[in-house]
């Protein structure tokens, strides 16, 4: 009986060490794949955004096609600034609404991110 328990203990140690080695190998491979597939993920995100908001895609294409390089840079910087301001306001709004919530009810402020 003791020999059998010893055999099972050694077998378990072997399996645990093999599992650790396999986890390490899988994480190494996944990290390299993740770096290489970043561009593909970005492409899919753009396609998904276009499918969700097709009007925005058409409008932005219409605005950017006839634009010269200087106008394109100008409007890109404006859009980026507007986007950052929107994110700042959204974060502040969310923080304010969390602080103003009373005993489980929303006090006249709508939480953008529940």
Instruction: Identify which of 94, 58, 62, 89 has the alpha carbon closest to the alpha carbon of residue 75.
Output: 62
* 8: pLDDT strictly greater than 60: yes
Q: Pull the structure tokens for residue 50.
A: 């276009």
pTM for this entry: 0.35
- 8 Å CB contact between 28 and 21: no
* 12: pLDDT strictly greater than 80: yes
Read off the pLDDT band of 96 (50, 70, 90). Answer: confident
Read off the pLDDT band of 19 (50, 70, 90). Answer: very high
Give the DSSP per-residue string, 29-46.
Answer: HHHHHHHHTHHHHHHHHH
Q: If you ran DSSP here, which 8-state letter would residue 108 be given?
A: S
């Amino acid at each position: 009986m003791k020999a059998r328990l010893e055999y099972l203990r050694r077998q378990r140690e072997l399996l645990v060490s093999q599992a650790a080695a396999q986890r390490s190998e899988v994480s190494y491979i996944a990290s390299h794949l993740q770096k290489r597939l970043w561009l593909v993920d970005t492409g899919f995100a753009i396609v998904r955004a276009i499918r969700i908001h097709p009007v925005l895609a058409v409008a932005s294409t219409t605005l950017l096609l006839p634009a010269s390089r200087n106008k394109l840079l100008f409007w890109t910087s404006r859009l980026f600034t507007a986007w950052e301001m929107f994110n700042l306001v959204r974060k502040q709004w969310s923080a304010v609404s969390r602080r103003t919530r009373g005993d489980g009810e929303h006090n006249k402020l709508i939480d953008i991110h529940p």
